[in-house]
């Protein structure tokens, strides 16, 4: 099975995932905008197991529906590399940009379209949700 490694900016924190992504999505919510410093977040979900190399600092944020997301970022350079959702331990969400792979599969889902910057154009055929999908 193929594997991929996502890395922070300085290389201290890395996560290795296996197989193809279960799903790739982008999120335009304001929390993701602040978290990434970009105007939307791009995330890929992978099935466990995954391996973490290096030291991560954690930040837990509650989503609109009460889910608690545990973000892991590098204490040296501050890049958020991956996160998990408390109570759903079957997968890990990895920041697509941390793979530094322009050939990575395009997103199929776009959420929090109500917060999308109007100049951001979505790829054809993407499923769009006004907020979080139910
Ligand atoms: Zn780093
Ligand atoms: Zn978001």
Convert the pLDDT of each residue in 22-51 to its tens digit: 999 999 999 999 999 999 999 999 999 999
Distance 102 CA to ligand 1 centre (A): 20
- The ligand placed nearest to the CA atom of residue 13 is 1
DSSP H/E element including 36: helix 30-36
Q: What is the pTM of this model?
A: 0.94
Q: Is 89 buried (19+), middle (13-18) or exposed (0-12) by CB count in 10 A?
A: exposed
Does pLDDT of 63 surpass 90?
A: no
The values of phi and psi at residue 40, to 5°, are -160, 160
| CA separation, residue 110 to residues 17, 70, 103 (Å) | 22, 21, 19
pLDDT over threshold 90, residue 132: no
Summarised one tens digit per residue, pLDDT across range 64-112 is 778 899 999 999 999 999 999 998 889 999 999 999 999 999 999 999 9
Centre of ligand 2 from the C-alpha of residue 91, in Å: 17
- Residue 124 vs residues 12, 112, 121, 127: alpha-carbon distances, Å: 36, 17, 9, 9
Q: Relative to the alpha carbon of 43, which ligand is closest? A: 2
Ligand nearest, relative to CA of residue 7? 1
User: What is residue 17's predicted lDDT score, i.e. its pLDDT?
Assistant: 98
> Alpha-carbon dihedral of residues 121, 111, 5, 39, nearest 10 degrees?
50
């Amino acid at each position: 099975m193929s594997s991929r490694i996502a890395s922070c900016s300085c290389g201290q924190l890395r996560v290795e995932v296996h197989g193809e992504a279960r799903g790739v999505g982008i999120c335009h919510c304001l929390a993701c905008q602040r978290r990434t410093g970009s105007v939307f977040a791009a995330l890929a979900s992978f099935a466990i197991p995954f391996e973490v190399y290096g030291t991560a600092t954690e930040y837990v944020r509650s989503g609109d529906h009460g889910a608690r997301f545990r973000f892991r970022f590098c204490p040296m350079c501050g890049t958020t590399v991956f996160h998990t959702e408390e109570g759903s331990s079957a997968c890990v969400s990895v920041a697509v940009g941390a793979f530094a792979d322009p050939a990575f599969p395009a997103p199929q889902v776009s959420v929090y379209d109500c917060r999308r910057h109007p100049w951001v154009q979505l790829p054809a055929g993407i499923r769009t949700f006004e907020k979080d999908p139910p």
